[in-house]
Structure 1
Amino acid sequence: MAWLVLIASGLLEAVWATALSASKGFRRIVPTVVFVVAMALSMLGLAFAMTEVPVGTAYAVWVGIGAALTVLIAVARGQEKLSVVRAALLAGLIACVVGLKAVS
């Protein structure tokens, strides 16, 4: 259960990071509200997951999922470009997250 909550929390990290950018410095209300709610839920989930998953592993997985998904969202929205090198680095990041799960 802790791992599922941790993965969901990582997904929410990408939501709040994307909403933070869309809020334009907290000047837009809807993205600001999405940011606050997603961040709170993400942190609560991370805290819950850390009751069973070691802190270093939980944090690395949470950040890895959030970072990789945030980049992919930005690419899908046309805000960033995905080069071959960048794709390879993201694949490496994802492989490291999967590896942490495999050894935990």
Structure 2
Amino acid sequence: MAWYYLFIAGVLECMWAIGLKYSNGFTKLWPSVFSVTLIVVSLFLLSLSMKTIPVGMAYAIWTGIGATSLVIIGMVFMGEPAGLARIVCLLMIIAGIVGLQLMGES
């Protein structure tokens, strides 16, 4: 169950970061409420996952899910550059997370 909590927490991290963009520095009420609510739920689920997943692993995966998701969303939907170097760096983040997982289980 911890891995499900961690995955959902990572997805929510991505969502609250997008909400922050639209909160305009917490000056718009509903995007701000949306973001703060998702921050709390995301951190709660992250903390639940840390009951069984080591903190370094959980945090790396949580931030990795958020970072890679946001980069992809930015490139696909928000007109951010999608050059080869950015894609290679994104793949290195994913490889690092997978490597941490594989090394943690050996």
Return the TM-score normalized by structure 2: 0.89
Equivalent position amino acid for 1:48 in 2: L
3-state SS of the aligned residue for 1:82?
Answer: coil
**Share of identical aligned residues, percent?**
38
2:88 matched to which residue of 1?
Answer: 88
Contact 1:9 1:41 in 2 (8 A): yes
Other-structure match for 1:37: 37
Q: How many residues were matched structurally?
A: 104
Q: Which residue of 2 aligns with 1:72?
A: 72
Gaps of 5+ in 2: none
1:95 to partner: Cα distance: 1.7
User: Hey, what's the Cα distance between the residues in 2 that align with 1:79 and 1:43?
Assistant: 29
Alignment root-mean-square deviation, CA: 1.3
5 Å matches for 1:49-60?
A: 49-60=49-60
Deviations 1:41-72 (A, max 9, x none): 11001100110000111111111111111111
How much has 1:31 moved relative to structure 2?
A: 1.4
Residue matched to 1:62: 62
The answer on 1:8 being equivalent to 2:4 is no
Moved over 6 A (4+): none
CA displacement, residues 5-49 of structure 1 (integer Å, 9 cap, x when unaligned): 111111111111111111111112221121011111110011001
> Contact (CA 8 Å) 1:13, 1:66: kept in 2 or not?
yes
Q: Which moved more, 1:94-103 or 1:7-16?
A: 94-103
Distance 1:84 1:13 in 2: 25
CA distance in 1, matches of 2:95, 2:46: 20
Counterpart residue number, 1:19 = 19
Q: Name the CA distance, whole Å, in 2 between partners of 1:3 and 1:102.
A: 15
